[in-house]
Amino acid sequence: MFGFIKKSLGLGSKESVKLRNEIDKDELEDMLLEADVNYELVEKILEQLPQTITRVQLYNSLIAIFDYKAHWIYPEGQKPFVEMIIGVNGAGKTTTIAKLAKKYKDEGKEVLLGAADTFRAAAIEQLSRWAQRLDIPIVATKQGHDPSAVVYDAINSAVAKGIDNVLIDTAGRLHTQVNLAGELQKMVRVANKALEGAPHRKLLIIDGTQGSSAINQAQAFNELVGIDGIIITKLDGTAKGGSILSIADELKMPIYYIGVGESADDLKKFDIKWYLDSILDEVFTLREQ
């Protein structure tokens, strides 16, 4: 699941290996920077550590980075549970929505999609194809139509039909585009008019290949509409797995899932302990050519 960690730390697969009990601080610094951990965070991690570091000492330093709590409460017994999926173009929003939809459907829940990215015709078509493939209903319109109307209609339809989960796609707007940002805020307001409390969770999709630069995007979107959690995509093809540490440290919000492939099943629940153990396994393994 976390094979990208090996790539991020520059480790191959054909070397002979042996475990070590300690690592020098200077070597650890180089490894974390190579994995695209933010420089300021690397300094903070190393600040309280001795020159020679054990696995337990490093684990305790890293686990403290994930000291955050979710800012939302799952509305037990309320239907539908509405999630709005947000992020810039190319981050993998539409594919992630399909993966979430399949996950919920596999759990026995009824799902409805809202194609509120009316900025691009291709986005509507792509989500519609996924809906057909997964046999899931979708509320969609034509390119250029009011996205807030799609939000309203999707939620109303879900309420009328007793749907469990609604997933709403949004345009891949940049936070610097004032008009599009205002449109996103309007969609949030309209969702609440359609169903009080909706959207119940706003998830930001971050492209894992962008490394630490994704932090600025997340902060801007959080200021616009308030982000409840993060999904990091494309971690199967990146050498920047350490950016997860930077994102968690800067944003102090939950990372719910990671995307590790293109298929509908390649969305994995983010497990902090597993992630940290994967890093530590690599840090404290010596490989010899």
Residue 176: inside a domain: yes
Report whether 203 contacts 84 (CB < 8 A). yes
Is there a single domain that holds both residue 215 and residue 152?
Answer: yes
Range of the domain at 153: 81-276
pLDDT at residue 185 above 70? yes
CATH number of 150's domain: 3.40.50.300
Report, as an integer, the average pLDDT of 210-223.
79
Is there a single domain that holds both residue 60 and residue 127?
Answer: no
Whole-number pLDDT of residue 250: 85
User: Residues 226-284: pLDDT tens digits?
Assistant: 999 999 888 775 555 787 888 888 888 899 998 877 777 788 888 898 889 888 988 89
Q: Which two tokens stand for residue 165?
A: 């989960």
Is there a single domain that holds both residue 164 and residue 118?
Answer: yes
- The 3-state DSSP class for residue 9 equals coil
Residue 226: inside a domain: yes
Is there a single domain that holds both residue 104 and residue 168?
Answer: yes
What is the percent of the chain where pLDDT is above 90?
52
Whole-number pLDDT of residue 2: 44
Is there a single domain that holds both residue 63 and residue 87?
Answer: no
Reference 4, options 229, 218, 253, 268; nearest CA is 268
86 burial type by CB count under 10 A (0-12 exposed, 13-18 middle, 19+ buried):
buried
pLDDT at residue 70 above 60? no
pLDDT at residue 7 above 70? no
Is there a single domain that holds both residue 230 and residue 136?
Answer: yes
> Could you tell me which residue, 188 or 77, shows the higher pLDDT?
188
Mean pLDDT (the chain, rounded): 86
Report, as an integer, the average pLDDT of 105-112.
96
Report whether 260 contacts 234 (CB < 8 A). no
Is there a single domain that holds both residue 87 and residue 177?
Answer: yes
Is there a single domain that holds both residue 104 and residue 40?
Answer: no
CA distance readout (Å), 257 to 112, 203, 205, 265, 285: 20, 10, 10, 12, 27
Whole-number pLDDT of residue 14: 46
Residue 243: inside a domain: yes
Mean pLDDT lowest among 34-43, 204-213, 215-224, 253-262: 204-213
Residue 119: inside a domain: yes
pLDDT at residue 196 above 60? yes
Whole-number pLDDT of residue 9: 47
Mean pLDDT lowest among 13-27, 57-71, 89-103, 127-141: 13-27
Whole-number pLDDT of residue 105: 96
Residue 76: inside a domain: no
Whole-number pLDDT of residue 15: 54
Residue 37: inside a domain: yes
Reference 65, options 105, 38, 87, 26; nearest CA is 38
- The 3-state DSSP class for residue 203 equals strand
Residue 73: inside a domain: no
Is there a single domain that holds both residue 143 and residue 272?
Answer: yes
Is there a single domain that holds both residue 62 and residue 85?
Answer: no
Per-residue pLDDT band for 10 (boundaries 50, 70, 90) equals: very low
Neighbour-count burial for 3-40, b at 16+ CB within 10 Å, e otherwise: ebbbbbbeeeeeeeeeeeeebeeeebbebbeebbbbee
Residue 26: inside a domain: yes
Mean pLDDT lowest among 57-61, 103-107, 126-130, 262-266: 262-266
> Could you tell me which residue, 91 or 49, shows the higher pLDDT?
49
- The 3-state DSSP class for residue 229 equals strand
pLDDT at residue 40 above 80? yes
118 burial type by CB count under 10 A (0-12 exposed, 13-18 middle, 19+ buried):
buried
- The 3-state DSSP class for residue 118 equals coil
pTM, whole model, 2 decimals? Answer: 0.87
pLDDT at residue 164 above 60? yes
Is there a single domain that holds both residue 255 and residue 139?
Answer: yes
Say which residues have a Cβ less than 8 Å from residue 13's Cβ, sequence separation at least 6.
6
Counted domains in the chain:
2
Whole-number pLDDT of residue 1: 36
Report whether 75 contacts 238 (CB < 8 A). no
